[in-house]
Amino acid sequence: MSIWQETAVARRRGWAAPDAYTVAMHSPGAFPDVVEIVVEIPRGSRNKYEFDEEIGVYRLDRVLSSAVFYNFDYGFIEGTRAGDGDHTDALLIIDEPTFTGCHVWARPIGGLEMRDEKGFDFKVLCVALGDAHQQHIERLDQVRPHRLVEIEHFFNTYKALEDKAVDVVGWRACDAALQVLRDDREAWRRETAGRNGEASPRGLAESR
């Protein structure tokens, strides 16, 4: 049984258990300079998959109504809690698409600030450390300009036929993305401390 499934079972039965996001990992760098992304949607897909945190499975949320597809791997960053109640969203630049449930070490290089039906929405743009074609990138201005335009265009149009308003505010530099990650990590610490009675001594060490 995976740590995700063990955690889901423990939650349903009211047991205290190490959370899937707080299990110690051998990170190649310190958080938030290096983050662990869990991919929900691989590049090229029109299917919007989401991780069901309560029971530890991936579900098909919907097929995009607009004639567009995800032109990046999309997922979330472990050990974070954003203001909308979900984990911090991540956009992953990688040459080859991965798969749903794949864990990827990545470097944040900036973020896309948006507003949607839930309010403030920040998506951290990252590059995969395991991709030699991308791992040298450290700032937004090192990304091909048209790639950033394509990503913006996707978010401006992907809900167009769903009668949902999306306002793409614009790209933010790496410093802004790192601060969002610090804030969302702290929110996750508070949540897990309240849920387990005390903060986990593992996994969220400063070395991450």
Average pLDDT across the chain, whole number: 87
pTM: 0.84
Quick: pLDDT tens for 7-30: 555 555 454 444 544 444 589 999
User: Cα-flanking dihedrals φ and ψ of residue 10, to 5°?
Assistant: -60, -40
| Mean pLDDT score, 32-36 | 98
Beta bridge partners of 40: none
Query: What Cα–Cα distance (Å) separates residue 170 from each residue in 88, 114, 126?
Result: 17, 7, 16
Nearest CA to 40 out of 74, 10, 6, 13 is that of 74
Instruction: Report which of residues 208 and 112 the model is more confident about.
Output: 112
Domains of the chain, first to last: 3-19+28-193 (3.90.80.10)
**Distance from C-alpha of 61 to C-alpha of 15, rounded to nearest angstrom:** 29
Quick: pLDDT tens for 118-159: 789 999 999 999 999 999 999 999 999 999 999 999 999 999
pLDDT of residue 163: 86
**Distance from C-alpha of 180 to C-alpha of 14, rounded to nearest angstrom:** 31
Whether 60 contacts 47, CB under 8 Å: yes
